[in-house]
Structures are given as structure tokens and as C-alpha cells.
């Protein structure tokens, strides 16, 4: 085992903490401008002076500045976070998330849709049968015109939770939308509480897992700021994994997974990793000889996983079916094609944009998903369930008909557990930067595709070097010296 990283100089992480907080504040302020608000949003009354083209431009400029600041702060605090004696993950999470808690949804129209579906439920209607904006109420006019008339695409537990969240505010036109963050915050809290224990079980550095999986900009900007139901799904997957490590994991963990699927369907693809984890945990109780690679053949491995796989599938599917039947049913099955109608950088979507028939592109995506997961199982299962988990979550995100940035959080939140190595992490960080560039410049700023690609690649390379390469070494050393009060480089007196 390699030696732990040295403790960071006292207060060396404070500038990055402050920078991330300032970037978050700037991003939150931009959400009050017409560049990001629906026309009917009551939030426009907060800053009426911005309701003009100048306000729109100011909002876009603020975003162009805020997102790089937040990414740089996250990478700047990396070494302090992964070393003993660094800042608490809760402190950093709170400082970077707090400015976004009460502002309009960040880079997302989804909370307006959630709130309108909650209102439909409040009126005694079923969102699987009644389309968005069909029932007059406080949120109908805030729903994006593209989605009006479409029915709910998420499972029943999600509908129940968004109804409960909006009901807490009395279905207030503004606070009812903000309340859609409550399930998301619960999911992020679950992830933050359980990730260190999962990292220890996986043999990873808990502080590194918290930096990479909890504090990354996808979590702060999209899961907290954007209030996506993916956050609660991820938190429940973390709960399922944690329960899977326990004595009664075979029975309890699949229940948590079933609840995660009842929030959002892609959680089902965590099932293989969870089942292998449960199987390995149970087999570990039999003694070290059972884990000896010379004793265990691949055939014995796979046969030994039969019971965990069957029980995990049965209980999780049963939990999902029971929750759905007891609430709103399975009407989302008729609306699954709706999300794929949005243009996105998903490979399947790009094929369609270049003229490949949609049905062909869709089947190519499904085939790729099956092959990737099968290869992961063959290569890593069951002895490395963490890698099966992470690969499966990334695969389902990248092979679907639509790809949003927060979909990458599914695998990124657990990436450190798989221990793929530094180059895999650098590749993931570069991809994260590029998707953030796409989301801020393509979906909301309307920049042309070539400009997005060029800026995204350039930003990814520069940030990668600042975080991991030689370019970042003198800058990190200079910051550490300045903050700690140590003598600076020759010719540069310290303060």
C-alpha cells in the first residue's frame, strides 16, 4: 500500500473554498436573469431591472465566468481534500451548495415540470394520463412549451415525493419549484454520509472518494442546483451498496435498490454490481480460503452468484412493483420515447442527427450497452463488483437516446470506488469539463458546435494539466507558500 499523501499546509485550501463559493454565488445570481428564467416565473419580480436584453447578456457572461471558477476551485482543493488534515467534506459541500439552494433551478427546466406534475396530483389527477400544463395552476405557465401536453416519464415514487415537496410550501408559485430540491438534497446527504464507508470497503481513500464523487461540479451545479431526481436515485443506490455490506444485505439492499428504481429507472443497472457485492460479502464470511484465486474458478464464481443475483432481482423488482401499484401505477411506460426527442450529445442522438434512422441508432445503442456490461461482467465479476457497478452506470448513460450532463454523475459519484487509476480519473475529469462546457454554451448560450468542441477540449486539457500535470505544480506550490506564510520563490518576498 502506498504511503498516504502529506498533510496540506495550514489553510492552503481556503482560497479554493472561497473561490468555489464565489463561483456558486455568481452562478446563482445568473439564474435570476431572463437568460434562464421562464417568462412566467415569479422570480422575475426579484430583479425587474434585469428583465431586458442587457440582463440576458449579463446572465450569460456570469455563467461563462462562474462555471470555470467552480471547476478550478474543485480541482484546486483536490490535494487538500485527499490528504489527512484537510477540510471536512461537509464544510466544502455546504459552502459551495448554499448559494444555490434558494435560487431558481440551475441549467434545468425539470423542476418546473416536477412542480406542475405535483399540482396535477393535488387536483386528484394522474400525471401519467394528464399532460403538463393541462390543469391550470401556479406552475402551468412556467413549463417549457416543448414539454406541454406530455405525460410523466418517471416512476411512481418520484411523483409521490414531488407532490409531498410542493405540498410543504402550500404549492407556492416560486417556493413550490424550489422545494423540488428537497429530494435532491436528501440524495446528496445520503451519498455524503455513506461514500466514505463504501470507499473503505472498496480499499479506496475515503477523502479522495468524497472529493471526486461528492464535491464535483456535476453534483453541486446539476444535482443540487438543478434539483434533478437523479440525486435521490444516486443516494438510494449508495444506501443499497452500504446495506449490501451488512449482515442482512441480501434482504435489505435490494429493497433500497427497488426504491431507487421507483425514483428513476436507470438505477436498475446498479443491480448487477450490487448482487456481486452481496455475493462477495457473503462468501467472505466463509473464510480466506474461499477467496483464494487458486481455489476459486470462474465457473465457481459465477455459480456462487446465482442466489445473490436471483434474490436481488426478485426483491428489487417486487419492491418497485409494490410501490408503483400502491401509488400511481406504471403509466410511464407509454412515455419512454419522449426524452429521446431532445437534441443532445448522446452518441445515439448524434447518429440520428447525421442521418441514421432512429430505430437503427436505438438498437445500436442497446447492443453497445449489452456488450459493454457483458464485457465488464466477464472481466471483473464477481471479484470486483465496484468496477461492474461503475461501468454499468456509465454505459447506460452513454448509450441512451439522450445524454444530459447530470447523467454522468451516475458513474462519477462512485468512480473512486472502482480504483481504475489516475488516468481513468483524468479522463473522467476531462469529460466532465467538456460536458459542462456543452451544457453552459450549447443548451443555454447557443454557441455553434465547433466552438463548443474547441473550447471544451482546450478547457479539459488546461484544467487536466493544472490538476495533475507539471503545469500545475509551481502554481500549487506558490499558493501553498502564500497561504502558509512560507518564503516565496527567489525574488518574490513572502507576505
Task: Return the pLDDT at 458.
Answer: 60
Residue 353 has pLDDT above 60, yes or no: yes
Instruction: Provide, rounded to the nearest whole percent, the portion of the chain with pLDDT above 70.
Output: 79
More confidently predicted of 14 and 264: 264
Model confidence band, residue 290 (pLDDT cutoffs 50, 70, 90): very low
The whole-number average pLDDT for the span 425-437 is 78
Query: Cα–Cα distance between 372 and 403 in angstroms, integer?
Result: 17
Of the listed ranges 60-69, 117-126, 286-295, 425-434, the least confidently predicted one is: 286-295
Residue 495 has pLDDT above 50, yes or no: no
- Exposure string of 432-469, with b = 16+ CB inside 10 Å and e = fewer, is bbbbbbbbbbbbebebeeeebeebbeebbebbbebbbe
Q: pLDDT by residue (tens digit) across 156-214?
A: 999 999 999 999 999 999 999 999 999 999 999 999 999 999 999 999 999 999 999 99
The whole-number average pLDDT for the span 354-373 is 92
Task: Return the pLDDT at 302.
Answer: 63
Query: Cα–Cα distance between 38 and 419 in angstroms, integer?
Result: 42
Q: What's the mean pLDDT when you consider all of the chain?
A: 83
The whole-number average pLDDT for the span 490-495 is 33
Residue 291 has pLDDT above 60, yes or no: no
Task: Return the pLDDT at 460.
Answer: 58
- 8 Å CB contact between 392 and 185: no
Residue 279 has pLDDT above 60, yes or no: yes
Task: Return the pLDDT at 56.
Answer: 83
Amino acid at each position: 500500500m502506498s504511503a498516504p499523501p502529506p498533510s496540506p499546509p495550514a489553510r492552503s485550501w481556503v482560497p479554493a473554498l472561497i473561490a468555489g463559493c464565489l463561483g456558486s454565488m455568481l452562478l446563482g445570481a445568473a439564474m435570476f436573469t431572463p437568460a434562464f428564467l421562464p417568462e412566467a416565473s415569479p422570480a422575475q419580480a426579484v430583479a425587474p431591472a434585469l428583465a431586458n436584453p442587457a440582463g440576458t447578456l449579463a446572465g450569460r457572461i456570469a455563467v461563462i465566468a462562474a462555471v470555470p471558477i467552480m471547476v478550478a476551485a474543485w480541482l484546486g482543493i483536490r490535494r487538500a481534500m485527499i490528504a489527512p488534515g484537510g477540510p471536512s467534506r461537509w464544510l466544502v459541500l455546504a459552502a459551495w451548495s448554499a448559494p444555490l439552494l434558494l435560487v431558481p433551478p440551475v441549467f434545468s427546466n425539470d423542476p418546473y415540470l416536477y412542480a406542475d406534475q405535483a399540482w396535477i396530483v393535488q387536483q386528484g389527477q394522474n400525471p401519467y394520463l394528464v399532460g403538463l400544463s393541462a390543469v391550470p395552476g401556479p406552475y402551468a405557465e412556467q413549463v417549457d412549451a416543448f414539454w406541454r401536453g406530455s405525460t410523466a416519464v418517471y416512476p411512481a415514487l418520484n411523483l409521490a415525493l414531488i407532490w409531498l415537496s410542493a405540498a410543504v410550501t402550500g404549492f407556492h408559485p416560486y417556493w413550490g419549484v424550489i422545494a423540488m430540491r428537497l429530494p435532491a438534497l436528501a440524495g446528496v446527504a445520503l451519498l455524503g454520509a455513506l461514500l466514505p464507508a463504501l470507499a473503505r470497503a472498496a480499499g479506496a481513500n475515503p477523502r479522495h472518494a468524497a472529493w471526486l464523487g461528492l464535491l464535483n461540479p456535476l453534483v453541486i451545479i446539476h444535482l443540487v442546483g438543478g434539483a434533478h431526481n437523479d440525486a435521490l436515485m444516486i443516494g438510494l443506490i449508495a444506501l443499497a451498496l452500504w446495506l449490501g455490506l451488512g449482515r442482512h444485505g441480501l434482504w435489505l439492499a435490494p429493497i433500497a435498490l427497488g426504491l431507487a428504481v421507483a425514483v428513476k429507472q436507470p438505477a436498475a443497472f446498479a443491480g448487477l454490481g450490487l448482487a456481486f457485492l452481496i455475493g462477495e460479502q457473503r462468501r467472505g464470511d466463509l473464510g480466506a480460503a474461499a477467496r483464494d484465486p487458486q481455489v476459486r474458478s470462474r465457473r465457481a464464481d459465477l455459480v456462487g452468484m446465482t442466489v445473490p443475483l436471483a434474490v436481488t432481482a426478485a426483491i428489487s423488482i417486487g419492491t418497485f412493483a409494490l410501490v408503483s401499484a400502491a401509488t400511481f401505477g406504471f403509466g410511464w411506460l407509454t412515455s419512454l420515447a419522449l426524452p429521446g426527442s431532445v437534441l443532445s450529445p448522446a452518441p445515439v442522438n448524434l447518429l440520428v442527427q447525421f442521418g441514421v434512422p432512429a430505430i437503427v441508432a436505438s438498437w445500436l445503442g442497446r447492443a453497445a450497452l449489452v456488450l459493454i456490461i457483458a464485457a465488464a461482467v466477464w472481466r471483473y465479476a464477481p471479484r470486483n463488483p465496484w468496477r461492474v457497478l461503475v461501468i454499468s452506470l456509465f454505459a447506460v448513460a452513454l448509450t441512451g437516446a439522450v445524454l444530459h450532463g447530470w447523467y454522468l454523475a451516475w458513474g462519477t459519484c462512485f468512480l473512486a470506488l472502482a480504483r481504475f487509476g489516475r488516468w481513468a480519473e483524468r479522463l473522467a475529469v476531462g469529460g466532465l469539463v467538456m460536458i459542462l462546457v456543452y451544457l453552459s454554451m450549447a443548451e443555454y448560450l447557443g454557441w455553434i458546435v465547433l466552438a463548443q468542441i474547441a473550447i471544451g477540449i482546450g478547457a479539459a486539457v488546461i484544467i487536466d494539466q493544472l490538476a495533475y500535470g507539471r503545469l500545475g505544480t509551481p502554481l500549487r506550490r506558490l499558493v501553498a507558500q502564500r497561504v502558509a506564510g512560507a518564503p516565496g520563490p527567489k525574488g518574490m518576498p513572502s507576505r
